[in-house]
Structure 1
Amino acid sequence: MIKFGTGGWRAIIGEDFTKQNVRLLTQAVAQMMAEQQCTENGFVIGYDRRFLSDKAAKWMSEVLAGNGIQVYFIEKVAPTPLVMFTVNRRDTCYGAAVTASHNPADYNGIKVFTRGGRDASQEVTANIEHYIDKIDVSTIKDIDFCTGIENGSIKVIDPFNEYIDTIINMIDMEAIKGRNLKILLDPMFGVSKTSLQTILITARCEVDIINDRHDTLFGGRLPSPSSHTLQRLREMVVEKGYDLGIGTDGDADRLGIIDEKGNFIHPNSILALLYYYLLKYKKWTGGVVRNVATTHLLDRIAKGFGETCYEVPVGFKHISSNMEKYDCLIGGESSGGLTIRGHISGKDGIFAASLLIELLSVTGKSLSQLLEEIHGSFGCSYMTEKDFKFSYAEKDRLMKLLFDQKKLPEFNYEVERVSYMDGVKVYFKNGGWIITRFSGTEPLLRIFCEMENEEMAVAVSNIMKEFLNIL
C-alpha cells in the first residue's frame, strides 16, 4: 500500500515502508518524468536522521540513475526546507526528502517536491499512485550507488552554504547582533542543529543546544514540538535565563517556541506574531493564508490592516499555491509550519525561527509583550486540540455519521454555517468554530475548537466528543 497523505507518503518501517516499496515508488516517479519529458535537469534527493532514511535515499538514487535520470544527492542529513530550496535553485522538475517529519519513530516516508521547491499537489501524488499500480516489480531498473557515483549519474552535492546565506540575506542580522541574545535550541534529535546554530552564531547570539545526538528513537518522544515534548526546554530556559527557547521537529520544517518566562508559544500565536510584525513594524503588505484548523486571529489582523485572510484545506501545498495565487505575505498552519513571500514555497522552521529572533531584536519587546499588544487590538482566542485513535470499524461509523448522514450535535451557540471543505467545520456567529477531520498523516481523528476563552472551547469540544462517542 503506497498512498500519499497531506504530507507525502508515510508508513510503518518493515510493514509498508520497505526497500521494495521505496524502489516501486521511485520507478513510478521515473516513468512519470520520462512521459512528461522533464528529466533534463535531474532530481534532488535529501534525507533526515530517521532509521533507514540514508539507505532509502540511496535506493531512490539507484533507481532514478538506472532510468537515466541525473541524481543530485545531498551528502549530509538535510532539513526538508534545504531540500526544497535545492529543488528550486537547480530548477529540477522534481525532488524528494526521505522523512516522516513529526511522526513516531517507527514511521518513515517520502515527501515529493515539484518545480520551484513546492510540495507535490494532490494531482501529482495521485498520478504517482496511478503509475505504481501499473508497475511490475521485476521491471524496476537500477544501478549500484557506487557505480552511479563513478559514472557521474549520481552527483553528491552540498547546498548548505547557499541555503544559509539566502536566509542570512533575508534577515536583519545587524539588528540581532546588537541584542546579544541568549538562545537555547532543541533540535529534538533531528536535523536543524547545524543550520540554526550557524545562523545564530553569525548573528552574535549565544547558543546552547540540547538533544542533538543521533537517536533514531528521538529520545522516546514524538519529534513534534509541543508544550509536552518541549518540557525540558521550558525548564532550562527559565533556570538558565535564556531569552528564547527554540524546538524544531524531526525534519526541521516546523517549530515550537518557549518565551523568556518558560511559556510555550502556540504555533497559532507564532503566526499571529510574525504576520503582525511584518505588517506593523516592517510595513510590508499582503494577505495571509491559513488552513481550516488554524486560528481566526489571523483573519482579524488581516482585516485590521486592510488585507485578506484565505482559508484552505490542510496540507501545505494548498497554502503555498494560494500564497502565489493571491500574492500573500505569509502562510501557515497551527501545527507549526509557515513561510513568507520571497522564501521557499514550503514550511521552513529554520527561517521562521530566524525571523522570530529578528522580531525580538527590532521591536525590543518580549513575545509576551507583543502578544498583549496584538490581543489588545484584535481580541483573544483560545484553541483546544484533541486526537483520537480509531479502528477501521470506528472510522467507517464516524465517516458515515459525519459525511454521509451529515449529522451534528446541538451546540450552545448559534451556528452561522457548516463547511465540508476538509472534514466538517462549524462556524459560530460569535466568531468561534470547531472542526472534526481525519489526519492525513496518521490514523487519528482530530478535533480543533477555537473560542474566546478556554472554558467555552473545552465545553464545545466535549459536546462533539460525546456526540461522536469517542474516548
Structure 2
Amino acid sequence: MSVPQLGLKASADGWRGVIGDGFTVSGVSLLAACVVDRVGLTTGAPVVLVTHDGRRAGAEAAQAAARAALAAGARQVRLVPHLPTPTATAAVRRGDADIALLVTASHNPARWNGLKVKVAPGCPLPRDLEAEIDAHFQVRRLDVSSRDDFVAEPADALVDQHIEEVLARAGTPRPLAVTVDGLGGVAGEPVARLCERLGWTVTRVACTPDPDFGGIVPDPSVPASRERAAGHRTDLAIVLDGDGDRIYLLDHLGRTVQPSELLALLLERREKLGVPTAGVAVTTSTGTAVREVARRIGAPVHEVGVGFKHLSPLLATNSVDVAGGAVGDLSFTEFGLDRDPFAAIVLLAELLSGTGSSLAALLDDLRARVGGLCWFESKVDVEGADPRAAGLTALRTCGLDPIEITEVDGTKFWLPDGQWLLLRASTTEGGVRVYGELGDEHATRALVRSVEEQLTNGINWGVVHD
C-alpha cells in the first residue's frame, strides 16, 4: 500500500523541502533508508558518512538518517557534523565511506533543508539511480532501528585530509590578503584554513555556521549575498554557499568574477602549463567566457542540463577534464569528479603566482578578449507560463532575433556575438528562472523588463555587471 508524498522534492542535487512542511525528520529518515537500501544492492553493506550544516532541524535529521542507514543494512555509520560537501565527497573518493548523506539545502534560504547524496567514485547519484530511489521513497514504509551504533566525530580530521590532498598539487603561492565570507555556512572556516596554509592573510566573515545565515541567502550567485565581501577590498574575496560546493570571487575593486570567467581563466592557465584538455562540460546556463576560451584552445564543449549530476558523468567517463555551471560549481578531474572550491582556490593560487598579475588585471584582460558580456539572472514567481512564447515575444519586442533555439534544459535563445537568453522552470522553488548575457547594460535592462511583462506583472529583476 502506498503512503502519502512526504514533501521532499528531487532537485538539481538531491532532495529539498521547506522545514516543517516538505522537509521533516521522518521524511529524511525514510529517504536515507531508501538510498542505503538501493545503493547497497551494488556495494554490499556500505559504510555511510552522515553530516549536516547549521540549518534548523539539521542535527536531528542527520541523527535520524544515521539510524535509518543502520536499519537499512549499513555496515558502519560515521556521523561527522558540519562537513563541507566537497570534504565529504573527498572522503567517498578516498574510500573512507561508500555513501555520504549530507543534510543540507545548499544555497537555498534558511527555511529550506534537504538531503544530498554522494557515492563512489566521489560524485552525485547517477540520474537513473536517483530516479529509482525517488520512486521507492514514495511507497516505502520504514521501521527505524533503535540502534545508535555511531558516535559523532569532529570534522577537523576529514577537513585536514581534504586540505592536504589539494595542497599536494599546489605550487609556491605568493602572499595575498584575502577575505573569506562563509555566508554562515559550514565551509567558511575550512576554506579560511586552506588559505592560511597557502600563506595568505585571511579576513574571516560569517565563517561560523548560523541557522539563519545572518539573514542572508547563503547563495553567492545572489548579488546581495556578495555585498559584504565586496566591501572589504582585500586582494580578492572568496564567497561560499551554505554547504561549501559553490565559490564566487571578487577582485580588489569589489567586482564579481562570474563563474564562467573564473572557469575560463583556470582553463586557460591549464593550457599554458601544458595540461591536455579532452573537453569541457558546462550547463546550459553557463556564460560565454569559458565557451570562447575552450574554442580558442580547441577543446570541445558539451552542454548539459542545470545541476552537477549532469556534468559528473562526463567527468567519470573521461569525456571531459573540466566542468562547471553558472553558480560557481567548478570541477577538474585531477582533483575529482565533483565540484570542489578547495581545488579551485589552489588552481587560482597557481594562476596568480605564475602570472604575477592581480585578479582584477586578469579579469580585465579576459573581458577584453572574450567580449565582457553583461550577465543577468532572476526568477519570476509564476506558474503555467510558456517560456518559449514569452522569450520569443520579449526578444522581438527588443528588436532581437534568435539565430538558434535549443532545449537542453528549458528554452535557450542563441543570439549573435555569443549573446543568449534562457528560460527554465525552477526544480526546487517553483517559478521560471531567467538567465542570459547581452552586449550592454541598457539592452539587458530592456530585455529583462520585456521578459517580465510576458511572464507576469510586478516582478523585480536583478542585473549583474559588476
TM over 0.5: yes
In structure 2, give the amino acid aligned to 1:23: S
Partner of 1:252: 244
What CA deviation, in whole Å up to 9, does each residue of 1:350-406 have, x standing for no partner? Answer: 32233223321221111221123223333332211121223xxxx13x1xx347x89
One-letter amino acid matched to 2:38: M
SS in 1 for 2:315: helix
- Residues 269 and 160 of structure 1: is their aligned pair in 2 closer, same or farther, counting only changes over 3 Å? same
Q: How does 1:263-274 map to 2 (within 5 A)?
A: 263-274=255-266
Partner of 1:362: 354
- Comparing 185-194 with 250-259, which one deviates more in the overlay? 185-194
Change (3 A) 1:156 1:266: closer
Q: Deviations over 1:26-47 (max 9, x none)?
A: 222233235x242334222222
Structure 1 position 162, deviation (Å)? 1.9
Structure 1 residues 407 and 218, CA gap change in structure 2 (3 angstroms): closer
- For 1:336 and 1:33, locate their aligned partners in 2 and report how far apart those are by CA, in whole Å: 28
Cα gap change, 1:273 to 1:184, in 2 (>3 Å): same
Q: Superposed, which structure 2 residues align to 1:275-294 within 5 Å?
A: 275-281=267-273, 283-294=275-286
Rounded Cα–Cα distance in structure 2 between residues aligned with 1:320 and 1:374? 27
Number of the residue aligned with 2:88? 83
Q: Give the match's secondary structure for 1:345.
A: coil
What is the alpha-carbon distance in structure 2 between the residues aligned to residue 299 and residue 168 of structure 1? 28
Structure 1 partner of 2:100: 95
In structure 1, distance between residues paired with 2:455 and 2:200: 49
Distance 2:210 2:424 in 1: 32
Alignment match, 2:216: 221
Provide the secondary structure at the position in 1 that maps to 2:303.
Answer: strand
Cα deviation code 1:151-178 (max 9, x no counterpart): xxx9888422221111111222x2x1xx
Give the Cα–Cα distance (whole angstroms) in 2 for the partners of residues 317 and 350 of structure 1.
19
Check whether the contact 1:7–1:441 (CA below 8 A) recurs between aligned residues. Answer: no
Task: Tell me which amino acid in the other structure corresponds to 2:145.
Answer: D
- Note closer, same or farther for the CA distance 1:375–1:155 as it changes in structure 2 (3 Å cut): closer
Match among 197, 204, 213 for residue 202 of structure 1: 197
* Alignment map for 1:302-381 (pairs within 5 Å): 302-381=294-373
1:124-203 equivalent positions in 2, closer than 5 A: 124-136=129-141, 139-145=142-148, 148-149=149-150, 158-172=157-171, 174=172, 176=173, 179-203=174-198
Whichever residue aligns with residue 210 of structure 1, its letter is V
Q: Is 1:461 matched up with 2:466?
A: no
AA at the equivalent of 1:445 = V
Deviates more, 1:346-355 or 1:297-306: 346-355
Matched with 2:13 is: 7
Instruction: Tell me how far apart the structure 2 counterparts of residues 155 and 380 of structure 1 sit (CA, whole Å).
Output: 47
1:195 CA drift (Å): 2.0
**2:150 aligns to what SS in structure 1?**
helix
Change (3 A) 1:190 1:2: closer
Show CA shifts across 1:171-202 (max 9, x none).
22x2x1xx221111111111123322222222
Aligned to 1:43: 48
Q: SS in structure 2 opposite 1:185?
A: strand
Q: Is contact 1:244-1:260 (8 Å) kept? A: yes
Change (3 A) 1:282 1:184: farther
2:430: which partner in 1? 443
- The reply to whether residue 235 of structure 1 matches residue 231 of structure 2 is yes
Q: Work out whether residues 119 and 316 of structure 1, in 8 Å CA contact, stay in contact via their aligned partners in 2.
A: yes
Mapped partners of 1:201, 1:331: distance in 2: 27
Q: Which residue does the alignment assign to 1:425?
A: 412
CA RMSD of aligned residues (A): 2.3
Match of 2:111 in 1: 106
1:212 corresponds to 2:207: yes
Q: How many angstroms apart in 2 are the aligned matches of 1:110 and 1:125?
A: 12
> Cα deviation per residue 1:216-242 (whole Å; 9 max; x = unaligned)?
1010110111432122221122xxxx2
Amino acid at match of 2:225: T
Change (3 A) 1:85 1:466: same
User: SS at the partner of 1:236?
Assistant: coil
Q: Are residues 50 and 80 of structure 1, via their aligned partners in 2, closer, same or farther at CA, if it must alter by over 3 Å? A: same
Q: Which amino acid aligns with 2:150?
A: I
> Do the aligned partners of 1:434 and 1:450 also contact (CA within 8 Å) in 2?
yes
1:63-100 Cα offsets, whole Å, 9 max, x none, are 11123312342434100001111112127543221110
Structure 1 CA distance, aligned partners of 2:325 and 2:210?
Answer: 27
- Quick check: 1:63–1:143 contact (8 Å CA) kept in 2? no
Q: By how many angstroms is 1:250 displaced?
A: 0.8
CA contact (8 A) 2:188 2:240 kept: no
1:32 has 2:5 as partner = no
Partners of 2:100 and 2:119 within 8 A in 1: yes
Q: Which residue of 1 aligns with 2:4?
A: none
Shift of 1:437: 0.6
